[in-house]
Amino acid sequence: MTEPVENACSGEPETGKSTVLQLACSRLFLLGSVFVLAYAIVAVRVFDLMIVQGTGGETRQEREELDRLARGGDLIEQARRGNIYDRNGVLLATSLKTPALFADPVLILDKPAVAKSLSEIFPDLVETETLSKIDVKKSRYEWLRDNVSPAQQERVLELGEPGLAFEYDDSRIYPLGRMTAHLLGYTDRTGRGLSGVERSAQSELAGGGDVTLTIDVRLQHALRREIQQTMDEFSASAGAGMIMDVHTGDILAGVSLPDYDLNLGTALAADPEKNEGVLSNRLTLGVYEFGSVFKIFTTAALLETQDTPLSATFDARSPIRIGRFTINDYHAQKRILTVPEVFMHSSNIGSALMARAVGAQKIQGFLSDLGLMARRKFDILEVGAPLTPKPWGEASTVTVSYGHGISITALQLCAATATIVNGGLQVHPRLIHPATPVIKPQARIISEETSEKMRALMRLVVTQGTGKKADVPGYYVGGKTGTAEKSAGKKGYKTKSLLSSFIGAFPIDNPQYLVFVMIDEPQGTKQSYGYATGGWTAAPAVARIVTSMAAILGLPSDRYDPAQDISLPLERYIKPEHTEKKKLASN
């Protein structure tokens, strides 16, 4: 009889053919051991990838060390980043644990399909760029997106893709999205501030301290809404605006359009050239030739430095020629004008003659005292430096008088105008509310008498001049229009590319608030008779903003008495309008 096979494999004494069978069993045992060892190696490797190394090529300890170095401190001891609030305690920025999406390219088989699916879930992810990230052959970790919402996370999970996963960490969240984009700023993935207050207050926020801004989000919303509406109405390319307390310098609202959702700031900053249009801060960083609003400063310089009476006259009957340049009036009166008439009709010729009367040296000194000749210090770091004439010749004195040949920021324009209307005291604009009251000395730039005259002149612009559409019955608005052709460099100016603006204050007899609106490249409409000047575009926007402010802040309207209008005493210096047609061309 043949011995059972199991006897040969059990170590029983060999009989018959058991030797052959035992040899076979030994080979089976060896083969099985090899398989067990192989499975053990695979299990250890999986454990290493999933637990020890996480999702990157380095160990988890190494990744944490890299993160610690990137953040500039110990992850364990690092304080949670502080919150940012508006002046009324409305939350503008905070840090929360949120999922971030990453990919393990090695585990993704159909990479084009995954890239396409992710672009559908996240509209801000460009399909081709995502594909290039996940097509890396050796990488085990490719970050794709921060701040994934619960709905987006669910859609990713539904893809059933093992190469997509999430990790949780503190992410910066901006509840109001784009509402305060260019002033508030954003952080990078490590929590380091990259722009705005997030950047300038990095030390305090990174240490866990909270920051309160001077912004009132109610006014911010109203300002943004009206500027966007004006841009849409006149097919403009961009816009900006500001609301300021003329005494404290507090920025109550500040807008630069187009803007962006701060929750996507990190992603947009990764391609600054592509996203330059929305990332550009037109409020504090961009510099512009503002045109006729500059006549506020020319006229104030004349009254302050020359003690010129309002009855003084300037011959605006003929253009002024300086070398190859000719200065004309946009809507010429072609007559001799008094100081109020030069201002209300926005005469370039009259303003040029005023600047000549003051002189180049005094004009430069006056503009410097107003903070218009050098970069202004502010609570964010993105602040532009003015472009001033170098060298400053006779032509510069003339062109600067009506806002050409000199480029400044909107921040500078607003602070200087606030100084002119608040009684003549220097204004220090601020965006961050100090934890403890800080009183900065306010130098006197002009006399109270000159400030009073300028307020009357600015009111005259609204009652009888180029800014009639800024008037709000009961709220006593004063201001100045501005329309400037945009510079084309050495080629001169683009006659069909305008920068239209209006800067106003109210109540103008004792100003509290300054409101500024700038519209970039507006196009005339049928309703505006083809005009796209400041009087037709920015002035009406300011009127709507003032109306909204009155409702939001509960400002009474019954204090205004038309019989006591501060512009009335100036009427003795004004001749009647020649034709109704000339009123249309408000600039």
Q: Report pLDDT for 208.
A: 93
Would you say residue 203 has pLDDT above 90?
yes
Share of the chain above pLDDT 70, in %: 83
- Which of 483, 540, 551 has its CA nearest to residue 515? 540
Q: Are 241 and 223 within 8 A, CB to CB? A: yes
Rounded to 10°, the helix 111-121/127-134 angle is: 140
Q: Report pLDDT for 136.
A: 82
Mean pLDDT, rounded, for 165-172? 89
Mean pLDDT, rounded, for 208-215? 97
Mean pLDDT, rounded, for 191-215? 96
**CA angle in degrees (0–180, nearest 5) for 25-26-28:** 65
| pLDDT tens string 221-278 | 999 999 999 999 999 999 999 999 999 999 999 999 999 999 888 778 878 888 888 9
Q: Give the confidence band of 9 by pLDDT, cuts at 50, 70, 90.
A: low
CA distance 93 to 212: 11
Query: Any idea of the CA torsion for 5, 7, 9, 12, to the nearest 10 degrees?
Result: -150
**CA angle in degrees (0–180, nearest 5) for 254-284-275:** 90
| pLDDT tens string 74-123 | 444 568 899 999 999 999 999 998 899 999 999 998 999 999 999 999 98
Q: Which H/E stretch holds residue 23?
A: helix 18-47
CA distance 398 to 479: 22
Q: Give the confidence band of 61 by pLDDT, cuts at 50, 70, 90.
A: very low
220-579 CATH choice from 3.20.20.20, 3.40.710.10, 3.30.365.10, 3.40.50.970: 3.40.710.10
Residue 308 is given by DSSP the state: -
Share of the chain above pLDDT 90, in %: 69
pTM of this structure = 0.81
Q: Are 458 and 521 within 8 A, CB to CB? A: no
Q: Report pLDDT for 585.
A: 47
- Which of 575, 553, 129, 538 has its CA nearest to residue 337? 575
Helix residue ranges per DSSP H, 427-477: 448-463
Q: Is 510 exposed, middle or buried (0-12, 13-18, 19+ CB in 10 A)?
A: middle
Q: Are 207 and 191 within 8 A, CB to CB? A: no
Q: Is 292 a catalytic residue?
A: yes
Q: Are 531 and 420 within 8 A, CB to CB? A: no
Q: Report pLDDT for 190.
A: 84
Active-site entry in 292, 407, 487, 528: 292
| pLDDT tens string 524-578 | 999 999 999 999 999 999 999 999 999 999 998 867 778 889 999 999 999 875 4
Q: Which two tokens stand for residue 357?
A: 């009367």
Sequence-distant (≥ 6) Cβ neighbours of residue 50 within 8 angstroms: none
CA distance 463 to 478: 8
CA distance 370 to 367: 5
Q: Give the confidence band of 37 by pLDDT, cuts at 50, 70, 90.
A: low
Q: Which two tokens stand for residue 109?
A: 């088989």
pLDDT: which is higher, 488 or 341 = 341
Domains of the chain, by residue range, sit at 5-52, 79-213, 220-579
Query: Any idea of the CA torsion for 31, 36, 40, 46, to the nearest 10 degrees?
Result: 90
CATH fold of 79-213: Penicillin-binding protein 2a (Domain 2) (3.90.1310)
CA distance 260 to 277: 10
